[in-house]
Amino acid sequence: MSAPVPSAARRFEGKVAVVTGAGGGIGSAVARRLAAEGAHVAVCDVAEPAAAATAASIAGPGGRASILAFDLTDPAACAGAVERVVAEHGRVDVLVNNAGVNRRGDLLSLTDADWDLTFAVNLHAVVHLCRAVLPHMIDAGGGAIVNTASQWGLHPVPGHIAYNVSKAAVVSFTRNLARDHAPHGIRVNAVAPGEVFTPMVAAHLERTGRTRADLDALVPFGRVGEPAEIAALIAFLASDEAPYLCGSVVEITGAQAVG
């Protein structure tokens, strides 16, 4: 299932967007959605072939995209990526911090490496990219940042402590950043999805022997979410149609409860 772009929707015409984790799943859906609405999208992913595939899917229908393959856990690489976008396009209007990893397990089963990687990607990369983008948005008089948190960051589930805590930190970071930079005209918001059928979820189902129908049965709406549906919400939050939304964390879960 997809969330089609209304034919008249060109909310990002002339704007430049940076999207992380855009090689697949929610990130690639966000990149395509913003491009379909007129943005030039910097498609960021650690895997260059995946980023190239997303960029090609944007260019095919006539959209505009560039590829940035870099390691989000490297602060210098994050700063360098933003500077490259600004050097080539003169601005960054939208930053979508979407990249994430999920190392499953309780505290006793997780390694230090699991914990450190989770926070490096899910939280620290968000910090580094926001720090790099903010001066340019301040100089421009505004901008929009949307972070991908998680329903589990608000309502933790057992056996995912590193992921849950990192996403809870993203929620807090979003609200704090919004309070600090709303006076600069910068809107910072987050989405908190429930279960979404991404390649990462599909791989987990295959490993555990569960099926998509098993996940669908947990959701009152009758099915898990689709990446395009999360992308539609992110596009709205980043657009001028949400001028007073700042410091918000929007759950999108199909009424699924956790706990």
Which residue reads 């395009």 in tokens? 228
Q: Hey, is 225 helix, strand or coil?
A: strand
Q: What are phi and psi of 219, to 5 degrees?
A: -105, 125
The two three-digit tokens of residue 107, written as one number: 């505290």
Q: What's the CA gap between 102 and 58, in Å, rounded?
A: 27
Q: Which residues are catalytic?
A: 163
Write the CB contacts of 127 (distance below 8 Å, at least 6 apart in sequence): 173
Cβ neighbours around 24 below 10 Å, total: 18
